[in-house]
Structure 1
Amino acid sequence: MEGLQRCFVLHSRHYSETSLILDVFSEESGRITLMAKGARRKRSNLKGALQPFTPLFMKWTGRGSMPVLTHAEPISIGLPMRSYILYSALYVNEILARVLEVQTPYPALFLDYLNVLRELAQADNPEPALRRFELALLDHLGYGVDFLHCAGSGLLVDDEMTYNYREQKGFMASVVSGQLTFTGRQLKAIAARHFETQDQLRAAKRFTRMALKPYLGSKPLKSRELFIPRGRSTAT
């Protein structure tokens, strides 16, 4: 690897007495696991920099399963995540670490990630930003869905009609209600990624949970569990 890359640390864990293993999302190389040798030493210049939500320039060496970090410097101060917004940001990090293939570039997704962190840092309600990011992530993963046309007739969806989602087919007009049923108005909001009502947000959350499930697998998300002790209804 040559030159510096813009990166964020998604997650870190201790390795030996002085080192860290980092899960990193980089602009040019995608998700990569790095060994940060000596990063936990008291005099290490890396110790304070390798934190989530801090934009970094990073450089590493080696082409094996775990290259070694050789340089890291903050581009700016970390984006502030206050109170329960922090849990939403941790959720974004966790789903990226779970669904992205190692060393597969996603430069456009990197910008979407940067945007969602900026939105969350300023948000009172994290849900619109989370739903937009989840939909962007699904696009980058190749999960293509036409929200605006009935898969059966080809007609534009109607605000007042209901549509049932069928995997690999799309949304079909239906008179039966259920977890896979959405109104035309809800589908238009999801397509535009613009949510004006709680009903539209709930529908988007229902869809993204369903669509992301095959990528995330059956293992529970740790970031969702963080909401439970505080008695909050989870935004994730």
Structure 2
Amino acid sequence: MEGLQRCFVLHSRPYSETSLILDVFSEDHGRLTLLSKGARRKRSNLKGTLQPFTPLFMKWSGKGAMPVLTHAEPISIGLPMRSYILYSAMYVNEILVRVLGNHTPYPQLFLDYLNALRELAQADNPEPALRRFELSLLHHLGYGIDFLHCAGSGLGVEDDMTYNYREQQGFIASMKIGQMTFKGNELKAIAARCFETPEQLRAAKRFTRMALKPYLGSKPLKSRELFIPRGRRIGT
């Protein structure tokens, strides 16, 4: 490859005695796996650099399944993620690793990811930022759902009407209440990615969990498990 690329490290794991395998999200190349040789050596100039939530310029070589990292430098200091917000940011990283294929460019999703990290770094409540990012991710994965019109009649959704979600179809006006039903005002909030009430935020979480499940599969998310021993309410 030519030139430096804007990137974030999503996850890293040891490889051999001195190296790291990196899951990286790059602006122009999407998600890829890199081998960072010697990154764990005591005198490595990469020590402390290859951290999540730090904007990096990176360069690599090789066209196989695991290109070799040849250069990495921070663009700026890492975005600060305090206490429980850190686990929410780790969740964002984990779902990207789980759902994005290698070497598929998502330049706009990269910017949405950067904006989500900035929002989380300043948030007291992580949930609005998480829901916005999940909806963005679904959009870029090609998940097209019309939140503003009834799939049965084609009419615009009404705030106080109830709509039942049907996979691959959309939302159908319904008198039933359950996990798959949403108020019209909740659907409008999801479409706008703007949540003015706790009910709208809960509805968005319910929807994104349902919509992301086929992409994430049945394997539990490690970032969610981090919250269980602490008894915290998670935003993921």
TM-score (structure 1 length as normaliser) = 0.99
Q: CA deviation at 1:139?
A: 0.2
Q: In 2, distance between residues paired with 1:168 and 1:224? A: 27
Paired positions, count: 236
Q: List gaps (5 residues or longer) in structure 2.
A: none
**Partner residue, 2:141:** 141
**Partner residue, 1:212:** 212
Instruction: Map Cα deviations across residues 181-209 of structure 1 (whole Å, 9 max, x no partner).
Output: 00001001101100011100000000000
Q: CA deviation at 1:229?
A: 1.2
Instruction: Map Cα deviations across residues 150-174 of structure 1 (whole Å, 9 max, x no partner).
Output: 0001100011110001111110000
Q: In 2, distance between residues paired with 1:235 and 1:162? A: 25
TM-score (structure 2 length as normaliser) = 0.99
**Partner residue, 2:12:** 12
Q: CA deviation at 1:108?
A: 0.3
Q: List gaps (5 residues or longer) in structure 1.
A: none
**Partner residue, 1:178:** 178
The secondary structure found in structure 1 opposite 2:104 is: coil
Superposition pairs for residues 59-74 of structure 1, below 5 Å?
59-74=59-74
Instruction: Map Cα deviations across residues 3-26 of structure 1 (whole Å, 9 max, x no partner).
Output: 100000000000011000000000
**Partner residue, 1:160:** 160
Q: In 2, distance between residues paired with 1:198 and 1:223? A: 23
The one-letter code of the counterpart of 1:152 is: G
The one-letter code of the counterpart of 2:15 is: Y
The secondary structure found in structure 2 opposite 1:89 is: helix
The one-letter code of the counterpart of 2:196 is: E
The one-letter code of the counterpart of 2:201 is: L
Instruction: Map Cα deviations across residues 132-153 of structure 1 (whole Å, 9 max, x no partner).
Output: 0000000000000000000001
Superposition pairs for residues 218-233 of structure 1, below 5 Å?
218-233=218-233
The one-letter code of the counterpart of 1:61 is: S
Q: In 1, distance between residues paired with 2:77 and 2:234? A: 28
Q: CA deviation at 1:47?
A: 1.2
Superposition pairs for residues 67-146 of structure 1, below 5 Å?
67-146=67-146
Q: CA RMSD in A?
A: 0.4
Q: In 1, distance between residues paired with 2:113 and 2:159? A: 31
**Partner residue, 2:189:** 189
The secondary structure found in structure 1 opposite 2:219 is: coil
**Farther off after superposition, 224-233 or 122-131:** 224-233
